[in-house]
A = this chain, B = another copy of it.
Amino acid sequence: MAHGIILFGHGARDARWKAPFERLEALLKHAHPGPVSLAFLELMDPDLPAAVDSQVAQGCERITVIPVFFGQGGHLRRDLPEIVEQCRSSHPQVDIRCTGAAGEDEGVLAAIIDFCLDQTRD
């Protein structure tokens, strides 16, 4: 069964903002056997419904949406569940799941702490 991952970011006007998301996508493509793609809430393409359509067209029967956000604010509590619901209505045969924010994961927080300590060494 093909299982896709979509890394979901906020989006920004400055195209350079996307760079770490593209690095994440490339790293994850090496580690995950199914399709991996990016999607954005606003200001950048594709949006989540387009990314889901594309993974369904590639044969995915399960898609996991991972919000690459630090905090869980209105975008993740209100906007994202609505968009995911819309994707499920368009593809009722596909198992579309959504995780918590990557930036709330303990391992990610620990890596940020390491970064902070590295940055304060002389």
User: Which A positions have Cβ atoms within 8 angstroms of B?
Assistant: 3, 5, 7, 9, 12-14, 16-21, 23-24, 27-28, 31-32, 64, 66, 68-74, 77, 99, 101-105, 107-117, 119-120
Contacts and interface: CB of A to CB of B under 8 A. Distances in A.
Q: Label chain A's interface by main secondary structure.
A: helix
Given A20-B71, A103-B103, 7 more contacts: A7-B116, A24-B109, A24-B113, A31-B117, A105-B115, A108-B111, A108-B112
Contacts of A109: 20, 23-24, 27
- How many copies the complex holds: the figure is 2
A107 B114 contact: yes
B116 A20 contact: no
